[in-house]
Amino acid sequence: MRERIIAGNWKMNTLPEEGAELAHEVAKAVKDIDNVKIVICPPATHLCHISNAIKGSNVGLGAQNVHWEEKGAFTGEVSTSMLKALGCQWVIIGHSERRQMFGETDEGVNKRLRHIVKSNIRPIVCIGETLEERQAGDTFKVLERQIRIGFEGVEMSGNSGVVIAYEPVWAIGTGLTATPEQAQEAHHFIRELLSEMYGSENAAATVIQYGGSMNEKNADVLMSCEDVDGGLIGGASLKPESFAAIVNASSMI
């Protein structure tokens, strides 16, 4: 059976002390869950604080982005070794907000991914179509491009730890959620493509999360889809009771 992974993407929210409190609340609320991996991804400024707040708990720590070089003249960037030194085991890359507002590209995702897979940190690679792309019937074409370029030259085996998050851009932060049928169709397409690229065993072992207005009300139906193995949660991850309810719902599927 595949792992199930629920990750909270806090985006640019909370101050460090508030974040530590939130992390503490989350850890308390999910302490008895042992069949779902739980991750929180606070802003980079909070990682040190939060690493302490969740020490000894079943909650993992992730960052929201990382550079593809280890050090050097890259103003404003952080490296995988910096993240690891603060206790991060996870990092989100290619989020649609980074793509849309900060000019990140499939090629940039590829550089990051190639570096991360060598660094003992688990990437959560975000892909997903915009509303215009969906309406134009281009959803699969977009997902295929994002994966083929994003994963070019990346070796993947069943235990490489790479996670993909399918996040339809039109569902992020909008309160609109993909229907279970839409989510399953996209996840199935992604798994078939991975199967073609990496073989069916590796594809079957890869965790594919859904992201886009997942909340405590829709988590169970989305998680019940055959190819949906987790969630990347934005808004609802800022409320410990909502996030814990999503984790709980996922643990019961």
By the criterion CB under 6 A, which residues form the site for ligand PGA?
9, 167, 172-173, 211-214, 232-236
- How far apart (Å, rounded) are the C-alpha atoms in residues 137 and 127? 16
- How far apart (Å, rounded) are the C-alpha atoms in residues 228 and 211? 10
The answer to whether 13 and 236 have CB atoms below 8 angstroms apart is no
Provide the token pair at 75: 């103003």
Cβ at position 214, least distance to ligand PGA in Å: 6
Half-sphere exposure of 97 (CA within 13 A, CB side): 13
Cβ at position 226, least distance to ligand PGA in Å: 22
Q: Closest CB to ligand PGA among 147 and 232?
A: 232
Q: Which of 129, 133, 167, 216 is catalytic?
A: 167
Cβ at position 9, least distance to ligand PGA in Å: 4
| 17 is an active site residue | no
Residues 6+ apart with CB under 8 A from 21: 53
| 132 is an active site residue | no
Q: Which residue's CB comes closest to ligand PGA? A: 234
Q: Closest CB to ligand PGA among 97 and 227?
A: 97
Task: Give which of 231, 121, 236, 115 is closest to 180, Cα–Cα.
Answer: 231
Q: Closest CB to ligand PGA among 38 and 172?
A: 172
Q: Which of 49, 67, 95, 115 is catalytic?
A: 95
Cβ at position 72, least distance to ligand PGA in Å: 29
Task: Give which of 148, 150, 103 is closest to 126, Cα–Cα.
Answer: 150
What amino acid positions are annotated as catalytic residues?
95, 167
